[in-house]
């Protein structure tokens, strides 16, 4: 179902997406056998390609898709792929999109180095194309993504994350990259600062809605967007928006009891107890309302642009992100 919706969204730029896929494959090629072997394996792990789609749509809305746009789309997808490989190492994950992860097949050292290779390939493509403005945007995103991840790790250990910190974490960890995609797409097509800023805001709000929805699915979906089983965040002691809201609604002693369960147990009965607690205190309902608020902000950012097939596709992308079930 979600694949059909995405196909519908990408229809207006399907030929450009096909061209991107070819350029992306070539960008990962290496004369070193093991690097090329892993690169070909990564290409088989077909993701949703939301990030390059966002770059291309943003460029077409702001002007037109050019060779510079393709370089920008390749840059963000190489960065995203590198971070996924590194995340699997950090999380000790065995699977990615239903296939064995790079660290499961080739061990951690190779996986970390492959992630480094992909990131450096992306940066070299930008340098060779003299896209120095892209480098400023992308390096800021990498910095924010690292800071967001480290802040979440520290807060997870203390189990004391509040709403303000949560929004800071997801803004840096997730929204920064989608914000980068829409910014780079716009920058590749126009010098109009208002249009670039509008698309930056669109990407930020889309990214916030995207992550909040993903956190909601941990409590109510069959599996969330990155393939983790339901309750995965609870087992990893991650306190996300549905749980933060629920904890704030109850007495200190009840909240303390839930934190103890998080700290000491990850067996199924304990996970179900926390999920039930969130449900009874309307945690997912609240998070859903916040996710929808960000969706509205994303659509409002597009109002500066005249109505078009591309604008409609970008509005549909907002709906897809905020309403998806997996």
Q: Which tokens is 294 given?
A: 């960000």
Q: Is 96 helix (H, G, I), strand (E, B) or coil?
A: strand
Domains in the chain: ranges and CATH: 2-323 (1.10.600.10)
Among candidate residues 117, 109, 112, the one with its CA nearest the CA of residue 35 = 117
Question: Inter-axis angle of helices 268-280 and 252-264, to 10 degrees?
Answer: 150
Query: What band does 225 get if pLDDT is binned at 50, 70 and 90?
Result: very low
Q: Which tokens is 238 given?
A: 């991650």
> What pLDDT is attached to residue 97?
75
The lowest-confidence range among 43-57, 261-275, 277-291 is 261-275
Residue 219 predicted with pLDDT over 70: yes
Q: What is the pLDDT of residues 270-325, one digit of tens each?
A: 788 898 999 999 999 999 999 999 999 999 999 999 999 999 999 999 999 888 76
Is the distance from CB of 70 to CB of 196 less than 8 angstroms? no
Mean pLDDT of 207-215: 95
pTM for this prediction: 0.91
Residue 165 predicted with pLDDT over 80: yes
Calpha distance 174→61 (Å, rounded)? 23
Q: Which tokens is 11 given?
A: 């229809």
Q: Which tokens is 148 given?
A: 């967001």
Q: Is 5 helix (H, G, I), strand (E, B) or coil?
A: helix
Is the distance from CB of 255 to CB of 261 less than 8 angstroms? no
Q: Is 254 helix (H, G, I), strand (E, B) or coil?
A: helix
Average pLDDT, the chain: 90
Backbone φ and ψ of 48, nearest 5°: -80, -15
């Amino acid at each position: 179902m979600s694949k059909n919706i995405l196909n519908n969204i990408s229809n207006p730029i399907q030929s450009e997406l096909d061209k991107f896929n070819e350029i992306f494959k070539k960008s990962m090629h290496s004369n070193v056998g093991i690097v090329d072997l892993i690169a070909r394996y990564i290409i088989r792990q077909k993701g949703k390609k939301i990030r390059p789609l966002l770059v291309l749509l943003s460029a077409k809305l702001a002007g037109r898709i050019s060779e510079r746009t393709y370089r920008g789309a390749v840059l963000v997808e190489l960065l995203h792929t590198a971070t996924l490989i590194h995340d699997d190492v950090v999380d000790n994950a065995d699977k990615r999109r239903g296939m064995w992860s790079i660290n499961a097949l080739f061990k951690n050292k190779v996986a970390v180095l492959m992630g480094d290779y992909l990131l450096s390939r992306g940066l070299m493509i930008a340098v060779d194309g003299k896209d120095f403005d892209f480098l400023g945007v992308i390096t800021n995103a990498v910095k924010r993504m690292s800071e967001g991840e480290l802040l979440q790790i520290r807060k997870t250990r203390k189990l004391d994350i509040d709403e303000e910190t949560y929004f800071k974490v997801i803004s840096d960890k997730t929204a920064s990259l989608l914000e980068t995609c829409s910014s780079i797409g716009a920058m590749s097509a126009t010098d109009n600062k208002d249009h670039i800023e509008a698309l930056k805001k669109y990407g930020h709000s889309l990214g916030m809605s995207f992550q909040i929805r993903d956190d909601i699915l941990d409590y109510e979906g069959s599996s969330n967007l990155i393939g983790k089983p339901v309750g995965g965040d609870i087992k990893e002691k991650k306190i996300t928006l549905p749980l933060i809201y629920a904890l704030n609604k109850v007495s200190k002693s009840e909240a303390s009891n839930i934190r103890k369960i998080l700290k000491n147990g990850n067996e199924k009965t304990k996970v179900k107890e926390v999920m039930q607690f969130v449900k009874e205190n309307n945690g997912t309902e609240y998070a859903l309302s916040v996710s929808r608020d960000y969706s509205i902000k994303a659509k409002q950012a597009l109002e500066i642009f005249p109505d078009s097939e591309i604008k409609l596709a970008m509005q549909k992308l907002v709906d897809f992100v905020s309403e998806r079930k997996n």
